[in-house]
Amino acid sequence: MAIVGGGPTAVYTLRGLVTDAPVPLHIDLFEKGPSVGPGMPYSAAMNDPCMLSNIASRELPPVVQPLDDWLRTLDTKDLVGLRLCPGDISETAFYPRLVLGAYFTAQMAELIALGRRRGHRVELHLRHEVTDLRPTADGINLDWRSPSGEASALYDEVVLASGHRWPDRTRQDGVTLLSPWPAEKIARLPDGEIGVLGSSLSAIDVAVTVASARGTFRDAQGQLVYEALEGRGDFRLTLMSRKGLLPEADFWYDLPLPELPALARVARSGEAASLTRAFDAFRADLNAADPAYLAALGGVQTSLETFCDAYFAARLAADPFDWAERNLTEAMRSTETRRAIPWRSALLRAHELFEELLPTFTEADLARFHATLKPVFTDCYACVPHASILRLLALHRSGHLEVLGLREEQEISRNGEGLEMRAGSWSRCFDVLIDARGQQPMTLADLGFPSLGPESLGAGSLRFEDFVLPLRVPGPGRIHCLALPVLLRRQPFVQGLVNACEMGSATADLICGASARPRRAG
């Protein structure tokens, strides 16, 4: 079998294969880059040391060993190389992205060694770019290009574990926008007016990278301040999003999350549920968990169409930095006391249950979900480390950062050597614009495999219960599509490491089950 891609999804898939397969497997792992494990979100080639991950240590699914246990095996010199000290290791810590990258790199090496000790043939193919997948009557023909030339091989199982894709530049309104990655490119931008489309973690990464290249964050009598280097203070960052809101700070919640019985019954009924029925169950559960919060949003009469507006109303009425400061104080108190906020925990659990329901919704209900509940769950799920909010507040106090809400459809055009952003009656000129709005949904065609088209795929759609592509050509081969961008429309929350673990584990279970069955002679 073959795994295409060498990031965290591939790590968790390989873990399931080498630990659970009832018979020895031959596993070829193809990665177009020079190393496996971190993937793009945690790669040293793409990220700056100042960039933080947005998953707490206690939430990260372990591979061979938990993240904190692995960190405690490192000596002081190695920890310093990761910008850590022993006192930083904690289950509530949000580590730099490069720490997670180093962890996944080490865990991938452990998995390969473990697999070989257990009799599996695990072959690593670095700098091998897979160029096509062709379903045939004999299996899946995989073509690749490497420094030694082009080649192909036949497989019975292929796992597409390619994840985030960030073009160096994007186009909007005929104008070129920069990508946030690699971070080193962003750090080298000239000073001036720097506009950033987006205000979530990717946009925060951009802001912190730009600022760190021009100055330092330091503690001054208990408050984080930002000081630009001499001669490097002539820059201004503007984060822009539709609502003009900053993400909220991460808060404490108990694991496992509290159950929502009414919504859980809908999700596990085994029947396709309507969005209306699911929302009614969710509203009843939210009222039981935190009646005061629901009352503030409009009470039990709150409708699906009004819930989103009610959820964001107070934040939209406040200055984003004032709100961020108050919210951070609440979040820090929640973490220090390890006391969960009931409505927040309920929203997180509802997000998981709606994730189970989304593949069963009709197209009309899916469109309604994207317009109503998705922004709420995305906002709640996308909370960021406390340190990220502290840095934004420091940049704002120093006069280097502002946040703007576009509200209306924006238009971008050339203006001399720079770019002009217009939204309704509002306009602003920038020297450069960076598109940090996150990974956009992709189609199978966008993956760049010419043979994965209508002539090779069946009339059905991707089976989301097991991520298997419907193939028109009958044969023994299967293609398991774990390419996150392709899954985003039907499963808009599959961008995290918990999802990578769940999908990789489920796919490994499916493959291991097939490997246990006797093969037909032929």
Residue 391 lies in a domain: no
Q: pLDDT band at 520, cuts 50/70/90?
A: very low
Separation of alpha carbons 251 and 334, rounded Å: 6
Total number of residues shown for the chain: 522
CA dist., res. 113 & res. 118, Å (int):
9
Amino acid at 378: T
Least confidently predicted of 122-136, 232-246, 411-425: 411-425
The predicted-structure confidence for 404-414, as pLDDT tens digits, reads as follows: 988 777 788 88
Chain-centroid distance, C-alpha 215: 28
Residues paired with 315 in a beta bridge: none
Which secondary-structure segment (H or E) carries 297?
Answer: helix 291-297
Q: What is the pLDDT of residues 72-93, one digit of tens each?
A: 999 999 999 999 999 999 999 9
CATH of the domain at 412: 3.50.50.60
Please report which confidence band the pLDDT of residue 215 belongs to, taking 50, 70 and 90 as the band edges.
very high
Q: What is the 3-state secondary structure (H, E, C) of 109-143?
A: HHHHHHHHHCCCEEEEEECCEEEEEEEECCEEEEE
How does pLDDT run across 24-64, given as a tens digit for each residue? 999 999 999 999 999 888 999 888 999 999 899 999 999 99
Are residues 141 and 35 part of one domain? yes
277: tokens are 């029925």
122 CA to centre of own chain: 28
pLDDT at 173: 63
CA distance 508 to 337: 39
pTM of the predicted protein model? 0.89
Q: Give the confidence band of 103 by pLDDT, cuts at 50, 70, 90.
A: very high
Task: Report the domain count for the chain.
Answer: 3
Range of the domain at 191: 169-245+400-435
The answer to whether the beta carbons of residues 120 and 18 sit under 8 Å apart is yes
- 175: in domain: yes
The reported pLDDT for the residue numbered 169 is 56
Does 419 lie in the same domain as 484? Answer: no
| Bridge partner list, 215 | 228
Give the DSSP letter string of 312-346: HHHHHTS-HHHHHHHHHHHHHHHHHHT---HHHHH
- 20 and 146 in one domain? yes
Q: Which candidate, 25, 1, 3, 121, places its Cα nearest to that of 483?
A: 3
Distance of alpha carbon 407 from alpha carbon 424, whole angstroms: 9
pLDDT score of 431: 93
Spatial CB neighbours of 140, under 8 Å, sequence gap ≥ 6: 2, 133, 134, 154, 155, 156, 157, 158, 477, 478, 479
The SS3 assignment for 402 reads strand
Residues 142 and 20 in one domain: yes
Strands 149-155 and 139-146, bridge-based pairing: antiparallel
Q: Same domain, yes or no, for 367 and 426? A: no
Tokens of 195: 């506009």
The verdict on residue 350 lying in a domain is yes
DSSP three-state, residue 294: helix
Axis crossing angle, helix 386-397 with helix 320-337, rounded to the nearest 10: 150
Q: What is the pLDDT of residues 364-406, one digit of tens each?
A: 999 999 999 999 999 998 899 999 999 999 999 999 999 998 8
Confidence at residue 119, expressed as pLDDT on a 0 to 100 scale: 96
Which of 114, 178, 84 lies closest to 430 in space, CA to CA? 178
Q: What is the pLDDT of residue 519?
A: 44
Tell me how far apart the 2 most distant CA atoms of the chain are, in Å.
Answer: 76
Query: Cα(325)–Cα(422) distance, rounded to whole angstroms?
Result: 29
56 & 90 share domain = yes
Give the separation between CA 117 and CA 144, rounded to whole angstroms.
28
Judgement on whether residues 288 and 414 belong to the same structural domain of the protein: no
Q: Are residues 153 and 207 in the same domain?
A: no
Separation of alpha carbons 164 and 440, rounded Å: 9
Whether 274 and 239 share a structural domain: no
* Poorest-pLDDT segment among 159-173, 321-335, 468-482, 488-502: 159-173
Q: Cβ distance 481 to 444 under 8 Å?
A: yes
Assess if residue 388 is contained within a domain.
no
Higher local confidence (pLDDT), 210 or 493: 210
pLDDT at residue 490 above 70? no
Of 177 and 74, the structure prediction assigns the larger pLDDT to 74
* Cβ atoms 213, 188 nearer than 8 A: yes
Q: Tell me which DSSP letter residue 468 carries.
A: B
**Is the same domain home to 374 and 266?**
yes
Please check whether residue 256 lies inside any domain of the structure.
no
Q: Give DSSP secondary structure letters for 43-67.
A: -TTT--TTPBPSS-GGGSPPSSS-H
Q: Is the pLDDT of residue 522 over 50?
A: no
pLDDT at 320 over 50: yes
Q: Could you tell me if residue 250 is inside a domain? A: no
Q: Do 202 and 78 share a domain, yes or no?
A: no
pLDDT per position as a tens digit, 231-243: 998 999 999 998 9
187 plus 88 within the same structural domain: no
Q: Is 175 helix (H, G, I), strand (E, B) or coil?
A: strand
